[in-house]
Structure 1
């Protein structure tokens, strides 16, 4: 349960001064605890508390800076419902609950490269509104990924992957592309990554040999695949820790996960975008190679040498 009286930013629990970085990390951690708790208990909440919880999960900035009445109106509940939700999470008052959000959102997003602005400038020179709308959505989705709290989660996810004996990678239908990319690129450096295909009813057989020393990385966006939910149920029963990449903390993939990435995937296209998920994959795998043992770099070099010896690449003069 979160502390009902979190320390002020910049102070430790005993009142001593700490660095701004430590205060930010602590605030983000407390907010993560709230999100994780809400995701765990969401299914058992009353309809009104579900509305309140959904708003809290999806509008942290508004919770931080709006009055309780304005937040309640936006969530279509009464102010007393928000108070009940805060107390359900262990807070003595709504104000103490909101302070966690106010402290956490003070950490702004990590700045993206100036190349993004250059690309937007080039795109704005056309009159193709559909093209521009897709571009705007793509930049927004990636911008929401590169935040201070996600930076911490990426580092934690990389550490989990590096410490695992085996890593199962799961994603079906639209997110199979994510799972395949993660497993294919990741195996170049880390041969203990295994893509789970679940073909011909073999999902249980493929997952049965994963246990407490292993982890599963699962991808799933709405509409959520029953096979992905089943895969997480199987691995959870075997003591496998989970890293989940999804689109909302109300996702059925979230309960029981050690790390959850809640990604934006909006797009004018008729199907949810996987751009932010692919970008996240690249960030996690890069972190693994950067902070893993030297053997990972050797594995990449040896893979490239083998591919060239086999004639897998076409040389360009």
Structure 2
């Protein structure tokens, strides 16, 4: 018997992917409605069709037409997909969020509590069976690559740096693309079909990131994209895309889910990879100790 939560989450993922795929072909009003649905699945789940239409600045009939474009008989069956996935994912994560919320209420205006609640929610949205399969697929692609580029600018530079720093301990072919002082094109020039790039980008999307994606895509380089919505401009050229929750009370998008994803992908690489990857990690640690990098 299939797991109800997994089935609900999978159905929502399928609907979201189809919506992202057809979005470029839609009329401006339908595309606007699609963008709202992709960016606010939680709101769509429990708002009325009029409420969602007002929030998206479209008419209710536009949302109905969008649902029918995806093969639904009307808006309610479409909305039920979002409701079922949200309810199925409530479980243990909801309990943790509730406990954090209780602490927040006992300490009014606690930013700490708000940060904790959204961080747990963001990580919880990542931990699905669908993403587990994508993580395994990403690791397999990385292990088959000649070279691996890590790319992220401005708010996602920390993600790219973390991926490159930790990744090359086990896989020396990981390289951080910095794009400093006008050198972006020079850094990307030698990447080709045998190579792969892991690209991070959250709204507002950086022009340099999109330029890097275009250059690498035209070179035949495989692309793993980590972004915040399937409507992101980073998604179309991707061979594999992760859309992560980045909600936070902070003024910058949260990278908590992205860092968790990085840890999961790199751990999977070591799990799937040859024995010499473990040797690489051991040699790195020994070298650092010999150089006096650690305080005993």
The TM-score normalised by the length of structure 1 is: 0.77
Alpha-carbon distance between aligned partners in 1 of 2:49 and 2:284, rounded to the nearest angstrom? 57
Question: Do structure 1's residue 276 and structure 2's residue 262 form an aligned pair?
Answer: no
CA contact (8 A) 2:149 2:176 kept: yes
1:82 correspondence with 2:66: no
Q: Secondary structure at the match of 2:149?
A: strand
CA distance in 2, matches of 1:92, 1:160: 35
Q: Does 1:147 align with 2:155?
A: no
Question: Alpha-carbon deviation of 1:141?
Answer: 1.9
Q: 2:175 aligns with which of 170, 177, 194?
A: 194
> Aligned-pair RMSD on alpha carbons?
3.5
Q: Secondary structure at the match of 1:224?
A: coil
2:290 corresponds in structure 1 to: 309
Structure 2: runs of 5+ lacking an equivalent: none
Aligned 8 A contact 2:97 2:117 in 1: no
How high is the TM-score relative to the length of structure 2?
Answer: 0.82
Structure 1 residues 231 and 310, CA gap change in structure 2 (3 angstroms): same
| 1:285-304 equivalence runs, <5 A | 285-304=266-285
Q: CA deviation at 1:190?
A: 0.9
Decide which moves more: 291-300 or 218-227: 291-300
The gaps in structure 1 that reach 5 residues or longer are 1-18
Q: Are 1:98 and 2:78 counterparts?
A: yes
**Structure 2 counterpart of 1:9:** none
| Distance in 1 between residues matched to 2:97 and 2:284, nearest whole Å | 32
* Map of 2:27 onto structure 1: 46
Task: Give the equivalent residue in structure 1 for 2:199.
Answer: 218
Q: How does 1:63-74 map to 2 (within 5 A)?
A: 72=53
Alignment length, in residue pairs? Answer: 294
- Give the 3-state SS of the residue equivalent to 1:20 in structure 2: coil
Higher helix share: 2
Structure 1 position 209 matched with structure 2 position 190? yes
Partner of 2:212: 231
Structure 2 counterparts to residues 257-272 of structure 1, below 5 A = 257-272=238-253
